[in-house]
Amino acid sequence: MARTTPIIRHRAVAPALLLAGIMLVAANLRPAITAVGPLLEPIGAEAGLTAAQLGLLTAVPLLAFAAVSPLAHGLGERFGIHRTVLVALVLLLAGTLVRPLPGAAAGLWIGTFIIGAAIALGNVLIPAVVKREFPDRMTELTGVFSAVMGGLAALGAGLAVPLSRVPLGGGAGGWRFALGAYAVLVLPALLVWWLWGRAGRVAPSTGSGRPAAFAGPAKLPGPGTNDDAPMARGAVWRSAVAWQVTAYMGLQALTFYVLVSWLPTVEQSYGRPAVAAGWDLMFFQLAGVVASLLAPLTLRGRLRRIGPVVPAAGTAAAVLGLMLAPGAMLLWVVVAGFFSGASLVVALSLFGLRTRTHRQASAVSGMAQTGGYLLAAAGPPLFGLLHDQSAGWIWPLALVLAASVLQALVGVPVGRDRYALDG
């Protein structure tokens, strides 16, 4: 018979470690990406890249998301969520260190892809963990998760240029030091995620091989449980609701990643200093943090039907402001950041709200992030190409406006209370 003390300790420690681990993973899912936008000009100048090529560089993580996301669900089932996320964190650390290595530009591209692949695993698996372990608090925790993700993304953007100017070896550290510095964020996440695995393994067993009081790092439950009946192969790809979620995810991601990549460059073209433009991007992210905490309120009660529409419409209004009244740039940046943050929370919440089980949520998440990020990957390079061709910002911003309007239109059907894998 299992002793009582370890069970009580496990009940107290493992859930706290898991929550801490989730939030520390969230802290690492954006800074390595958002730090690039404020540094595009020095990166381009040193590497000899055009605006379109810089746009392609910012799209590489999104292409990695699209390539790796469909594998994440299967890896989580085969090796367990704990091990898979732990490996993802190791890959993130490696990619962050490889990307700024001096020498051939190949390291810049390869490191960026590794970073995107690692983040893709966390993007897909962490919402499934929240759905499985905290089903009654899913929307609230998704909001907090997104707030942490946005807050650290804000710091990633705001500190990028100051870090590049840190004295190092007789001169400024430059963009290489600034990008490499974010490896420090990965270390506490690695430690806590590893400790959660230890807490799960040392806990008393129930006789089924699972920890006594907590699911811990076990694999996703296998077929045959009441909660998770097996799904037909490819069923999620035949679901109209899943395609709506995918479209919503892709359009919000396209808008967000174009803005987070190009806003500092747009601002600098209007005479904004580089450091100030970096801080403005931080305000963009911080506004999204506030929205992340408020957005779950729009997914309750009567507001639930229009919850997906409002953030997209707000983003469209902000982009229109950027086009027509660039003199109020900071205002439009903050408004766009607020509604972009809300859009992300809604998109992540839809993985759980439009499914009945965590297995379904993981499948829809993998599909939405595969197709969605594939769509989003076209945004930054197309934005840069439109700028190269037009020598201005109206046509590139019109692309973002069109994506926001389409997202609002998709938000109408996706706001209905239906489930992706029913029937």
Residues 6, 395: Cα–Cα separation, whole Å? 62
Q: Is 15 part of a structural domain of the chain? A: yes
Check if the beta carbon of residue 32 is closer than 8 Å to that of residue 115.
Answer: yes
Handedness of CA 76, 82, 88, 90 (dihedral sign): negative
Residue 255 has a pLDDT of 95
Q: Is 220 part of a structural domain of the chain? A: no
Question: What domain count does the chain have?
Answer: 1
Residues 301, 124: Cα–Cα separation, whole Å? 27
CB atoms within 10 A of CB 301: 9
Check if the beta carbon of residue 265 is closer than 8 Å to that of residue 160.
Answer: no
Q: Please count the CA atoms within 13 angstroms of the CA of 218 that sit on its side-chain side.
A: 18
Q: Is 136 exposed, middle or buried (0-12, 13-18, 19+ CB in 10 A)?
A: exposed
Contacts of 245 (CB under 8 A, 6+ apart): 347, 350, 351, 354, 364, 367, 368, 414, 420
Which of 152, 254, 406 has the alpha carbon at shortest distance from 262? 254
Contacts of 34 (CB under 8 A, 6+ apart): 153, 154, 156, 157, 160, 260, 281, 285
**Residue 350 to residues 220, 368, 418: CA-CA distances in angstroms?**
20, 10, 11
Backbone angles phi, psi at 273, to 5 degrees: -60, 155
Contacts of 222 (CB under 8 A, 6+ apart): 228
Q: Is 348 part of a structural domain of the chain? A: yes
Domain with residue 335: its CATH number is 1.20.1250.20
Q: Which amino acid is at 351?
A: F
Which token pair is 37? 């936008």
DSSP 167: E
Distance of CA 417 to the CA centre of its chain: 25
Residue 87 has a pLDDT of 95
Q: Is 179 part of a structural domain of the chain? A: yes
Q: Is 77 exposed, middle or buried (0-12, 13-18, 19+ CB in 10 A)?
A: middle
pLDDT tens for the chain, 423 residues: list them: 444 333 334 445 577 888 899 999 999 998 998 899 889 889 988 888 888 888 889 889 989 988 888 888 788 888 888 899 999 999 999 999 999 988 777 889 999 999 999 999 998 888 778 877 787 787 778 778 878 888 888 888 888 889 999 888 777 889 999 999 999 999 999 999 898 877 754 443 333 333 333 344 444 443 334 455 556 667 888 899 999 999 999 999 999 989 988 898 899 888 888 888 888 888 998 898 888 788 777 767 666 778 899 999 999 999 999 999 988 999 999 999 999 989 988 998 888 888 888 778 878 888 888 888 889 889 988 998 999 899 889 999 999 999 999 999 999 999 888 888 775
Check if the beta carbon of residue 68 is closer than 8 Å to that of residue 121.
Answer: yes
Whole domain around residue 21: which residue ranges? 10-203+235-414
Backbone angles phi, psi at 150, to 5 degrees: -70, -40
Residues 193, 259: Cα–Cα separation, whole Å? 32
Residue 421 has a pLDDT of 77
Check if the beta carbon of residue 126 is closer than 8 Å to that of residue 134.
Answer: no
Residue 305 has a pLDDT of 76
Backbone angles phi, psi at 236, to 5 degrees: -65, -30
Q: Is 218 part of a structural domain of the chain? A: no
Residues for the chain: how many in total? 423
Q: Is 420 part of a structural domain of the chain? A: no
Handedness of CA 287, 290, 293, 296 (dihedral sign): negative
Q: Is 211 part of a structural domain of the chain? A: no
Q: Is 380 part of a structural domain of the chain? A: yes
DSSP 48: T
